Structure 1
Amino acid sequence: MRPEAIQIIKDEHLAIAAVLYCLRYIVKEVKDEGKAPDFVLLRAILDYIVSYPDRWHHPKEDKYLFAAVRARSHEADELIARLEKEHQDGYPMVEDLKTQLIAWQQGQVGAQDAFCATVARYLELEWGHMRTEEDLLMPIAERTLTADDWVAINTAFRENDNPLFGIKPKEEAELLYQRILSLAPAPIGYGPAR
């Protein structure tokens, strides 16, 4: 039977991928079709990326899944080092996107092009990263980790909220995700057609 954490990670990847697809779609419409940018939607997307993948999803992978695989086998050491570096590289790119989005909103020359170029790099990094985790790391994890290893990992991925501190990232991410879907153009979101 497949470990619960594997399915949770894949489900989280699907949600992240949907948001990234929306980002790509908006940027393509602006660049290729000359549509006016939806800055509210772009800001919601960046907020989602910061609040969920960067603050909760990636740290759990590093602390639980990657650490457990590394403890059981050296087969994935280089792969895990690469994935951890990609986690680290993604955050500054999102910070750059936030700065570039503000500059674009303020009408600064070249800001739109800078934002679009950073989006392209970020999308390439994230989609490749998720594919690598699913296609290369997860099979190694399934093969090398014990049932006891999976208990701890499953628990970590099941528990996205921290009630002790009132932190509810799963709820916060879901609200942002639903907001993005409602703001997104009809072919992507479930909101009213524009």
Structure 2
Amino acid sequence: MEHSHGHGFYEHHQFEKPTEVLSDEHRVIERVLAAVGKLLAVPPAQSLSHWKKALDFISNFADQCHHLKEEKLLFPAMEAHGIPLEGGPIGVMLMEHEEGRSHVRAMRAAVEGLERGETGGVESLLSHARGYLRLLKEHIQKEDEILFMIADDCIPAAEQTALLKSFEEHEAREMGAGVHEKYLAIAQELEAALNISNE
């Protein structure tokens, strides 16, 4: 089993809890949401490469890497300690993940249409992007301020350590090595292209 690649992010940060990883990812996701907010003011036909980069980030980092760690690992661990998956805070999060995916599918279809020269997708792209931004902003706040605290309280320390390992393995298996570095670089490229200072 090869362990020398792809774990730099975890080694560097020395996380103690799985929710710390997820909060760290939220900060990177927020940077890309800010970039999408700026893209709303630019005619999409002139910024398709930026939209494609943002959608790559959203689908692969925000969803595959981040949301799937919650859905496959964190939420089941919480359920095992008495927090129901249906109804309650986890149910709301799962519903919002699906809502986000539906916005992303619509944005992707609109961008593909614009690439083919179909101008009808502009309004759909912008309205779904606005919906996604609104949703994710509130979603992140709910997780940071409510859900992660519940997770920290209900999952025993030894299990938290095991979950961190599972997070790392999920990323290596589903995404390949260096996923955080790759998508942090995409966030930085979008900021540079849109003159966003991340001070």
Question: Does TM, normalized by the shorter one, top 0.5?
Answer: yes
Q: How far apart are the structure 2 equivalents of 1:180 and 1:109?
A: 27
Distance in 1, matches of 2:17 and 2:73, equals 13
Correspondence for 1:10: 23
> TM-score under structure 1 normalisation?
0.81
| 1:47–1:153 Cα change, 3 Å | same
1:21-60 paired onto structure 2 within 5 Å: 21-27=34-40, 29-30=41-42, 37-60=46-69
Does the C-alpha gap of structure 1 residues 58 and 179 become closer, same or farther in structure 2, counting only changes over 3 Å?
Answer: closer
Matching residue within 153, 157, 172 for 1:161 = 172
Corresponding position of 2:107: 97
Equivalent residue runs for 1:73-152 within 5 Å: 73-74=82-83, 77-152=87-162
In the alignment, structure 1 segments of 5+ residues that lack a partner are none
Which has the higher relative contact order, 1 or 2, with Cα contacts under 8 A spaced 6 or more apart? Answer: 2
Total equivalences in the alignment: 181
Aligned sequence identity (%): 24
1:82 to 1:99, Cα distance in 2 relative to 1, 3 A: same
Q: Name the Cα RMSD after superposition.
A: 2.6
User: In the alignment, does 2:185 pair up with 1:175?
Assistant: no
**In 2, are the aligned partners of 1:64 and 1:153 still within 8 Å (CA)?**
yes
- TM normalised by structure 2 equals 0.79
CA shift for structure 1 position 153: 1.6
1:89 offset after TM fit, Å? 2.2
Deviation at 1:22, TM superposition (A): 0.4
Instruction: Identify if the C-alpha distance between structure 1 residues 189 and 179 changes in structure 2 by more than 3 Å, giving closer, same or farther.
Output: farther
Judged with a 3 Å threshold, the aligned counterparts in structure 2 of structure 1 residues 113 and 187 are, in CA distance, closer, same or farther, namely: same
